[in-house]
Amino acid sequence: MTLAKTLELLKGRNELRVIDTPLDIHLEIPHLAYAEVKKEGGGKALLFTHPLDTKNNKSFTTPVVMNLFGSYARTEFLFGRDVEGVAVEIEKLLHMKPPQGFKEKVGMLGDLFNMKDIFPKKLKTRGACQEIILQGEEINLYDLPILTTWEEDGGPFITMGQVYTQSLEGEVVNLGMYRLQVYDKNHLGMHWQIHKDSSHFFDQYQRAGKKMPVSIGIGGDPLYTWCATAPLPYGVNELLLYGLIKKETVKLVKSITTPLYVPEDLDFVIEGWVDPEKMILEGPFGDHTGYYTLAEHYPALEVSAITSRKKPYYLATVVGKPPLEDKYMGWATERVFLPLLQTNAHDLIDYHMPENGVFHNLILAKMRILYKGHARQFMHLFWGSGQMSFVKHALFFGEDAPKLTNYEALATYALNRFLPKCIFISEGITDALDHSSPEALIGGKLGIDLTASYSVEKPKVVDSIELLSMIRPFMSEVQDVTQYMRHTSNPITIISVTKKRSLSNVAEILSSLQSYLRIVIVVDAENNDIHNPYMLLWRVTNNMDAGRDILINGSIVSIDGTCKNKYDGFERQWPGDVNCTSSFVAKLKSLSLWDLEDSLEQKYQL
C-alpha cells in the first residue's frame, strides 16, 4: 500500500488532519506534530500541504506527512491486521513440528502456502520510486522538506529514513532506522550506533579499505518504516517480516548507483557511499529520550543519486519527551516480538515497556517462577539478548501479579512486597543515547525481583508539611516534599532540591528517619514538578545510573535522580532537556493550529 493510498484511506476514516496553512520546516511543522501526538489517543495523522523554508526563501511542492503511526487503531490499520494475531502466527511457526499423519500434512501445506509471499522478489525493471532520477549537479538535499525539529539541533535531520545496507560480501542485508543529519546539499551523517548491524557492516568495509554502499528509503508502504525498527536477529532480512505480516511479496528494484535493492514503491530513495576514512561531527539532536544527544563523530554518506516518484510525499516523525509516535510503534514491536523473546526466556508470560520509560530505560516482565533465583537468571538473560541488552531497569513479577499495563494496581502489588534485598545491581552496555552513566556505553543495571512475597513493616505516615520539616534539618537544600503510594508498605518520598553537594548518599543522610521513610527519590527543583508522576518517572529513569545512584541503608532505599555535575565527580557533559521554542508555539496558537489542551501542555512539560 503506497503512502498516497494510505493517506487517502486515512482521510476516509477521519484519521487525517490536513494543514493547508504554509508552515516552516524549521521548528513550526515539528512543533505542531509534537503537540498533536500529545493529545489523548495520540491525535491524527498530519498532512502539511505547503511546507516552507523561510530561511532560504523557498517553498516545496512535496507535502510532509507526520504522526502516521500515532494511535493504536492507526497502527493496526497500517499493519492491515490484528497486531496480536501476528504474534500468534510467529509463535505457531516457532513451534512447528513434523506432521504426524495425512491430516496434519495437509494442514502444514496450508501453513506453508501462506508463507509463499514472505520472500522479497527482485524486479529487472525500474520502480515507481525511480520515476525521477537526479545525479551529479542535480543532487540537492535541500530540495527535500527535511525538518529541523529543535532549536539546538545541529541542522535538519531525516527521522523516518529506511536505511538499506549489506555486508562486505553482500551475503547479509539489513534494514534499519537511524537519524540522518544534512550537512550540505550532498552529504548526510550516518548515526548508526556501534551496537547496530549497519555499524558492524561498516567495520567490515573499514577493515577492507572500501567504501560502503547505502540506500535510504523514505515513504512507500508505512510498514516498511516499522520493519526498519524491528529487533530481528543478526542476518535476518527485516523485509521478511513485512511479507509475513502483509501476506504480500515485497517487490524490489536495484538502486541506480549502489548494488542495494529497495522496495519499488518508495516515495524517495537517497543513494550514496560512505568513506570509512572520513568521520564528521554529528549532532546535537533532540532525541526520543527527551534530552539532546551531544555532538560526536560519525561516518558520512556522499550522495550519488536521489530518485523519487513524480508526486512523492515526505514522511517524518518528531522525537522528544513522551508520549510520542514511537509509543505506538513500540507497542506493536512489543506484541509481535514476545514469542521470539520467549524462545530463550521459556517461562516469560508477558513484558511491557512504558512509554515514559522511553523503552530502554524501563521494562516490566511477568514470569512463571520455578526455582529460587529464577528472576535473577531472567535479568541476565534480558541484559544479554539483542536490543534488550540496552535496558537499564527491569522489574520482574510473578504470574499472580496484576496486568502489566495496570500501573496503579501493579505499583501497589510491588510496594506491598518490596524489601531492599529484592534489588539486584549489575553492569552492562548502555544505549549510545544514555547520558547518565559515568562512562559512555557502559553503566549500571537495576533488577528488582518482585516474584516473592515478603512481610513488610509499614512506616509511620505523616503529612508532607510535617515530613518536610523533619527532613530539612538534614538537607538544607530541600525545596519541597511529597509522597506517593502512602497506602502501601513502601511509600515513595519525592524530595526536590537545589543541589549544593552530591546526594548519592541520601539514605545515610536521612538514616535517623527510618521510621518514616522507605523509598526516597531526590530530583532537582528546577524543571521538575514533584506532583507530576508521569514526568517524574521519565526524568528519574533517564538520570539514574544504578551502580552510582542507589544506596541502601537499613530500611531506606534512596535514588539520586538529579542531574549530575561537578559535585558528583561527573566528567561527561550533561545534556539539556528538549523543549519547544515559545515564540513558535505562540505563532501556531495565533494561527489557531495549536489546539492542545493547556492541562496536557503542562503535564507533558512541552
CB 251 within 8 A of CB 123: yes
Residue 168: closest CA among 40, 274, 17, 257 = 274
- Quick one: average pLDDT of 154-167? 98
pLDDT at 331: 97
pLDDT at 103: 54
**Maximum CA extent, the chain:** 80
pLDDT at 385: 84
Length of the chain: 606
- Integer Cα distance of 453 and 51 in angstroms: 57
Per DSSP bridges, beta strands 16-19 and 45-48 are parallel
- Output the pTM of the full model: 0.95
Query: What torsion, rounded to 10 degrees, do the Cα atoms 584, 587, 591, 596 define?
Result: 50
The stretch 46-70 carries a mean pLDDT of 97
d(CA 135, CA 138): 5
pLDDT given at position 12: 98
pLDDT tier at 95 (50, 70, 90 boundaries)?
Answer: low
pLDDT tens digits along 482-534: 999 999 999 999 999 999 999 999 999 999 999 999 999 999 999 999 999 99
Residues with Cβ within 8 Å of 415's Cβ and at least 6 positions away in sequence, in order, are: 485, 488, 489, 490, 491, 492, 519
Residue by residue, DSSP assigns 297-321 as: EEEEEEEEEEEE-SS--EE----SS
Strand order across the 492-497 sheet: 478-484, 492-497, 519-524, 556-560, 550-553
Q: Is the peptide bond before 284 cis (omega within 30 degrees of 0)?
A: yes
- Give the pLDDT band (50/70/90) at residue 197: confident
Cis, peptide link before residue 354, omega less than 30° from 0: no
> What is the predicted pLDDT for the residue at 106?
47
Domains present along the chain, CATH in parentheses:
3-80+117-315 (2.30.110.10), 326-450 (3.40.1670.10), 464-568 (3.40.1670.10)
Measured CA to CA, the distance from residue 433 to residue 463 in angstroms comes to: 39
Contact 75, 325 (CB under 8 A): no
Strand partners, 250: none
pLDDT of residue 109 exceeding 50, the answer is no
